[in-house]
Amino acid sequence: MPNCPMCQSEYTYEDRGLFVCPECGHEWSENEEIEEGLIVKDSNGNVLQDGDSVTVIKDLKVKGASGAIKQGTKVKNIRLVEGDHNIDCKVDGFGPMKLKSEFVKKL
Ligand SMILES: [Zn+2]
């Protein structure tokens, strides 16, 4: 049995699919314990995590910049975010920007 998430009691029991804590009266279901994190995958389908380093797999045009981010550019310490451009990072020579995970490869 898992400990009570509210009071950490060890004396929990299961009742009709719910876990019950006799000490604080908290009831919860197993499914609530599973947190749905943000899953972002690179071009190869590898799951990326905050702090990963990646390389860019194709030249990417940058709005407002004279050049493009070149294929093979290393990007360190990425941060995953929600949305279409799901990688928040700093690219050397370009500064902070957002990239699409489909255009990078985990190092
Ligand atoms: Zn409890």
The residues placing their C-beta within 5 Å of ligand 1, an ion, are 4, 6-7, 9, 21, 23-24, 26
pLDDT tens digits for range 84-107: 899 999 999 899 999 999 999 999
Tell me the two tokens of residue 17: 């699919």
Q: Low-confidence residues of the chain, pLDDT below 50? A: none
Q: What does DSSP say about strands 60-61 and 68-69: parallel, antiparallel, or unpaired?
A: antiparallel
AA identity, residue 19: F
Res 21: pLDDT: 96
From ligand 1's centre to the CA of 17, what distance in Å? Answer: 17
From ligand 1's centre to the CA of 30, what distance in Å? Answer: 15
Q: What does DSSP say about strands 27-29 and 18-20: parallel, antiparallel, or unpaired?
A: antiparallel
Q: Tell me the percentage of the chain whose pLDDT exceeds 70.
A: 93
pTM: 0.64
Which residue shows structure tokens 């004396």?
11
Q: What is the mean pLDDT of the chain?
A: 91
Give me the count of residues in the chain. Answer: 107
Q: What does DSSP say about strands 68-69 and 95-99: parallel, antiparallel, or unpaired?
A: unpaired
From ligand 1's centre to the CA of 36, what distance in Å? Answer: 23
